[in-house]
């Protein structure tokens, strides 16, 4: 199951297939996001601490924070390479970085993510170092460069204005049984019209995952404009009499 | 640009990546559908009659009918191969078939599709045989087997009951500037809850694309149950005072 010769960095090649591209002939950002998650999944399973191993131990990884900085999105038909590595492991969190390069080797994007390990029965955090003999520590890559700022606490100054409400359905939910992390991003980006994207591109997106949501949940999207090019989006789910915060996101356009 | 040695059948390998799988640990049907469209795009471009060539001539392919019969969807992590070929060309329509096989070579699914060639300025049909010196005729594969029934006219006996209404946004629209063919399928399959999919699977889906829809269009989904296991879905867009039919679909569950 484990291979001591494996490098800490995993490399996975994908392609910007035409029907995963938007009107600007570039890969949908949320699709790139899902390929980052797929790369993380492949990387961790190959190194013996992925969900395929952990599910037998009733544990799973949960994405807690995600920051993506984009220089250019892969163009239609272009292949691109995702590199991913774990750059630090704490007791309850690991930090995993990504870089995305185009076919000429030019960097398209960098991303940072923070993951918690939870017990699938209790949904409580688990000490990462005690699971599977601390297997994850064998592959930490401290020195590889990821020159983007980590996501902060995302403090919003106001509640924002409700702009949309979307009910979660079958196709929003992935294998984990809750709404897919990148589906939130997809619904968030839907708050802007195509005409906006023909003149602006997402330069940076920061997401804090606060609570899970499920099929049937109604999600309300509250938007606050920080500056002309930075918008904060708060996703709340309607639960009984009060609304519960699910996701907080900050999008910077260029 | 053309290669006389190319076979009429194109073969493309994909993978059922974990974050493109549903709660049953199998590839989302709509994602498989988009990979079929991607394979069709690769195949036609490699043979000199794809949209990359045609866009210079102000022409494009439009999907008119799509029928997919599924024996089993690819399982998470499994690679699968899509074969596609054009099996007949008429003046205004071509018929393209697909087969999908899993890593062990077992057939997962077959599909049939009908495409029209249109002029992108007038949106009117174009005589396929007159475009690009009838290049497409060089690669017709009449004899390769696709043992599923072609989609019929999809006559519905009633108007059906409205079950949902969805407004089309940025992420529903692909490079063609209108709602992606498989996004209709995704929204259609959202009419059933996850609990339904844990006991039923889609055995066959037939779609007739009647009109295009765009960002901002409100689509209403009318459902009529033909039998216990067959449902008809009519998608109408709200246009002025009357509703316009956009898509007709029939889904058979097993």
**Is residue B144 included in any domain, yes or no?**
no
Whether A126 and A166 share a structural domain: no
Structure confidence at residue A5 (pLDDT): 65
Residue of chain B with shortest Cα separation from A41: B18
Greater confidence (B2 vs B94) lies with: B94
Q: Which burial class, exposed, middle or buried, applies to A132 when counting CB atoms under 10 A from its CB (0-12, 13-18, 19+)?
A: middle
Residue whose pair of structure tokens reads 């939910």 in the numeric block: A173
Structure confidence at residue A132 (pLDDT): 82
Q: How far is B218 from chain A (nearest CA, A)?
A: 14
CB contact at 8 A, A200 and A217:
no
| Three-point CA angle B48, B50, B51, nearest 5° | 135
Structure confidence at residue B4 (pLDDT): 56
**Is residue B249 included in any domain, yes or no?**
yes
Residues A63-87: tens digit of each pLDDT = 999 999 999 999 999 999 999 999 9
Confidence of residue B1 (pLDDT cuts 50, 70, 90): very low
Whether A81 and A183 share a structural domain: no
Name residue B108's beta-bridge partners.
none
pLDDT tens, per residue, chain A with 254 residues: 444 568 999 999 999 999 999 999 999 999 999 999 999 999 999 999 999 889 999 999 999 999 999 999 999 999 999 999 999 999 999 999 999 999 999 999 999 999 999 999 998 999 999 988 888 999 999 999 999 998 878 999 888 999 999 999 999 999 999 999 999 999 999 999 999 999 999 999 999 999 999 999 999 999 999 999 999 999 999 977 899 999 999 999 99
**Residues of B in Cβ contact (< 8 Å) with A197:** 170
Query: How far, in Å, CA of A142 to CA of A130, rounded?
Result: 20
Structure confidence at residue A188 (pLDDT): 98
Average pLDDT rounded to a whole number, residues B147-152: 89
Size of interface A-B (CB pairs under 8 A): 101
Confidence of residue B128 (pLDDT cuts 50, 70, 90): very high
Greater confidence (B4 vs B15) lies with: B15
| Three-point CA angle A169, A173, A178, nearest 5° | 115
Query: How far, in Å, CA of A248 to CA of A47, rounded?
Result: 31
Whether A177 and A125 share a structural domain: no
Return the SS3 of A19: helix
Query: How far, in Å, CA of A8 to CA of A84, rounded?
Result: 8
Residues B14-43: tens digit of each pLDDT = 999 999 999 999 999 999 999 999 999 999
Average pLDDT rounded to a whole number, residues B62-88: 97
Model confidence, pTM:
0.95
Query: How far, in Å, CA of B113 to CA of B44, rounded?
Result: 14
Whether B24 and B131 share a structural domain: yes
Interface test with A, best of B77, B171, B176 (most A CBs within 10 A): B171
Which ipTM did the prediction report? Answer: 0.94
| Sheet strand arrangement including B218-225 | B10-15, B79-89, B93-102, B107-119, B59-70, B202-209, B242-253, B230-239, B218-225, B161-167
Whether B203 and B126 share a structural domain: no
Contacts of residue A133, Cβ cutoff 8 Å, sequence gap at least 6? none
Q: How many domains does chain A have?
A: 2
Structure confidence at residue A239 (pLDDT): 79
Of B186, B190, B215, the CB nearest to A193: B215
Residues B183-210: tens digit of each pLDDT = 999 999 999 999 999 999 999 999 999 9
Q: How far is B96 from chain A (nearest CA, A)?
A: 17
What's the CATH code of the domain at A229?
3.10.129.10
Average pLDDT rounded to a whole number, residues B224-244: 93
Confidence of residue B2 (pLDDT cuts 50, 70, 90): very low
**Is residue B105 included in any domain, yes or no?**
yes
Contact B23 A216 (CB under 8 A): no
| Sheet strand arrangement including A107-119 | A10-15, A79-89, A93-102, A107-119, A59-70, A202-209, A242-253, A230-239, A218-225, A161-167
| Full domain range(s) for residue B88 | 9-138
Q: Which burial class, exposed, middle or buried, applies to B43 when counting CB atoms under 10 A from its CB (0-12, 13-18, 19+)?
A: buried
Whether A34 and A116 share a structural domain: yes
Return the SS3 of A120: coil
Q: Which of A104, A138, A172 is the last residue of a domain?
A: A138
Interface test with A, best of B10, B14, B15, B18 (most A CBs within 10 A): B18
Average pLDDT along chain B = 94
Whether A119 and A31 share a structural domain: yes
Interface test with B, best of A32, A45, A171 (most B CBs within 10 A): A171
Whether A186 and A65 share a structural domain: no
Interface of A with B (CB under 8 A): 17-23, 25, 28, 30, 34-35, 37-38, 41, 51, 76, 169-171, 173-175, 177, 180, 182, 186-187, 189-190, 192-194, 197, 215-216
Nearest to B234 by CA among B29, B244, B242: B244
- Can you state the angle between helices A29-46 and A181-189, rounded to 10 degrees? 170
Report H helices in chain A: 29-46, 51-54, 181-189, 194-197
**Is residue B210 included in any domain, yes or no?**
yes
- Can you state the angle between helices B29-46 and B181-189, rounded to 10 degrees? 170
**Residues of B in Cβ contact (< 8 Å) with A37:** 18-19
**Is residue B54 included in any domain, yes or no?**
yes
**Is residue B129 included in any domain, yes or no?**
yes
**Is residue B193 included in any domain, yes or no?**
yes
CB contact at 8 A, B49 and B55:
no
Whether A133 and A167 share a structural domain: no
Contacts of residue A123, Cβ cutoff 8 Å, sequence gap at least 6? none
**Is residue A150 included in any domain, yes or no?**
no
**Residues of B in Cβ contact (< 8 Å) with A22:** 170-171, 173-175
Query: How far, in Å, CA of A78 to CA of A14, rounded?
Result: 9
């Amino acid at each position: 199951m484990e291979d001591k010769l494996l490098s800490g960095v995993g490399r996975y090649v994908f392609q910007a297939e035409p029907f995963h591209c938007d009107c600007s002939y570039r890969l949908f950002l949320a699709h790139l996001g899902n390929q980052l998650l797929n790369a993380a999944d492949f990387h961790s399973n190959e190194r013996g601490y992925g969900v395929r191993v952990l599910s037998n131990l009733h544990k799973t990884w949960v994405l807690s924070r995600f920051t993506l900085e984009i220089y250019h999105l892969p163009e239609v038909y272009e292949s691109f390479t995702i590199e991913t590595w774990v750059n630090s492991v704490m007791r309850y969190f690991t930090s995993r970085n990504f870089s995305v390069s185009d076919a000429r080797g030019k960097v398209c994007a960098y991303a940072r993510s923070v993951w918690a390990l939870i017990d699938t029965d209790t949904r409580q955090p688990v000490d990462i170092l005690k699971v599977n003999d601390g297997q994850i520590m064998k592959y930490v890559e401290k020195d590889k460069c990821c020159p983007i700022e980590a996501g902060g606490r995302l403090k919003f100054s106001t509640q924002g204005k409700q702009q949309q409400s979307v009910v979660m359905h079958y196709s929003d939910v992935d294998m984990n049984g809750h709404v897919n992390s990148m589906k939130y991003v997809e619904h968030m980006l839907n708050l802007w019209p195509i005409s906006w994207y023909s003149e602006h591109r997402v330069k940076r997106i920061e997401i804090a995952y606060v609570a899970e949501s499920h099929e049937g949940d109604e999600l309300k999207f509250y938007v606050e404009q920080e500056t002309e090019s930075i918008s904060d989006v708060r996703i709340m789910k309607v639960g009984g009499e009060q609304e519960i915060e699910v996701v907080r996101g900050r999008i910077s356009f260029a």
